Each structure stands twice: as structure tokens, then as C-alpha cells.
Amino acid sequence: MSAPNTTVPAALKPGTIEHRVDAGDCVHRGGYDVLATPSVVRLLEEAAMIAIEPLLASGQSSVGSTVDIVHVRPTLRGQLVTATATVVEVDRRRVATRIEVFDDVERIAHGRHERFVVDEDDFGARLAQKAGHATAAGE
């Protein structure tokens, strides 16, 4: 992924993840445990990582940068949720995905999520440096 490329490879498949909503995914509203929006974001990020994986070279990973979703319908604890991310744009290290999330009844969320490709060694070094500063600041 070195040169700019706004054309998405034709053979690239969407990333999909299924998840049964449990208590840890929920907030209590209207007398029911319902899927919380932060849990929707976690699922769409996981789907996007699956979609982007074929674009990554050895030693690369991706990090989320933007999330723009509309969470339009509630989902009850126990329902099955499917999150799908489709790569719609690749521009150097930035990869944009269109996301949709369905429960076993209807579409519950949709929007866009962008990720940046990072070199794992460089990213790990920056995290180690930050961890050193965070530890020093907390003493």
C-alpha cells in the first residue's frame, strides 16, 4: 500500500462478524437490556479489520481513525447481530469502509468507518515510548 489508489480491488470481499448480544454489550432502557452504541462500534471495527486484512502486508496492522454511524433501532440481549464492512476507498494508508449492522429482525445501524494502515514495529515503539511517559507521569 505505497502509492495512492482510490480503486478498490474487485476481488476484495466484505468483512463480516456475527455476535450474540450478551449482558456486557447492553445498557438498560425501557425495562429491557439493549445493545449499547459503543458495542455496535466495537463490532463494526472488528468487521472492518476483517475487510482490510487482505490489503495488509506482513508486519502491518490497522487502527481506527473515524467512526460516523447512525444507530437507528434497538437490539435486545440474546439477539444475533451481524456487522458487515465493505471497503469503498483506499488512499495510501487510509482505508474507508461502508458499514451496516443488522440484528435478526432489521437493520440497526449504518455509516462509515475509516482505518489507517500502520507498521506494527513503528506503532509498537510509539506505544512503548508513550507507556514510559504515562508511567513517569503517574508516579
Q: Is 6 a catalytic residue?
A: no
Catalytic, out of 19, 71, 97, 113: 71
> Is 45 one of the annotated active-site residues of the chain?
yes
CB proximity list for 134: less than 8 A, separation 6 or greater: none
Q: How far apart, in whole angstroms, are the C-alpha atoms of residue 77 and residue 122?
A: 40
**Does 64 belong to an annotated binding site?**
yes
Helix (H) or strand (E) holding 130: helix 120-138
Catalytic residue among 6, 28, 37, 120: 37
The answer to the question of whether 24 is labelled as a binding residue is: no
Of the candidates 139, 83, 87, 92, which has an alpha carbon nearest to the alpha carbon of residue 116?
92
Q: Which residues are documented as binding site for CoA? A: 64
Query: Which positions make up the binding site for substrate?
Result: 64, 115
Annotated binding site: 64, 115
Catalytic residue IDs? 37, 45, 71
